[in-house]
Amino acid sequence: MSEAGGIQGRCHCGRIGFSFDTPLAPQDLPLRRCSCSFCRRHGARTCSDPAGSVRFEISEPAALRRYRFGLRSADFLLCAECGTYLAALIEHDGKAYATLNANCFEQAETLTQDAPIVVYESETLEQRTARRVAKWTPVSGPI
């Protein structure tokens, strides 16, 4: 599962990082631009793979900031030190799922594939949870 060559990502200062294992090559990963007011402000390109897994690596737990808004159904993970938006996280039935900000990947500069704009604002909470559980990346380890 955690073969060498997983995708590494981190915030600008490096206090918070992640290791993303996916069978897909970085250039084949599906990227999205979420149209919500939070993601637009960050210019985030997000990425997930339900067949992969992600492990967060937090060298300084006090630097992890969780932000909620709207339906308050996910934690948006930010570094309190450098301000980077790294990922969004949900827990459902005892499991955690994340979508990652691909702009934090080591390979971010080489990801030139399209990142279509997606609009989720008409979803109900139930629809939103079902989509995230189906499409986001399972989280391994603590967060």
**Nearest CB to Zn ion, comparing residues 13 and 58:** 13
The least CB distance from residue 130 to Zn ion, in Å, is 32
The least CB distance from residue 7 to Zn ion, in Å, is 18
Structure token digits, residue 76 = 């948006």
The least CB distance from residue 76 to Zn ion, in Å, is 14
72: Cα separation from own chain's centroid: 16
Q: Are strands 137-138 and 95-101 parallel, antiparallel or unpaired?
A: antiparallel
**Nearest CB to Zn ion, comparing residues 65 and 128:** 65
- Note the residues at the interface with Zn ion (CB under 5 A): 11, 13, 15, 79, 81-82
Give the closest residue to 81 by CA, choosing from 101, 59, 100: 59
**Nearest CB to Zn ion, comparing residues 91 and 106:** 106
Q: Which helix (H) or strand (E) holds 47?
A: strand 46-47
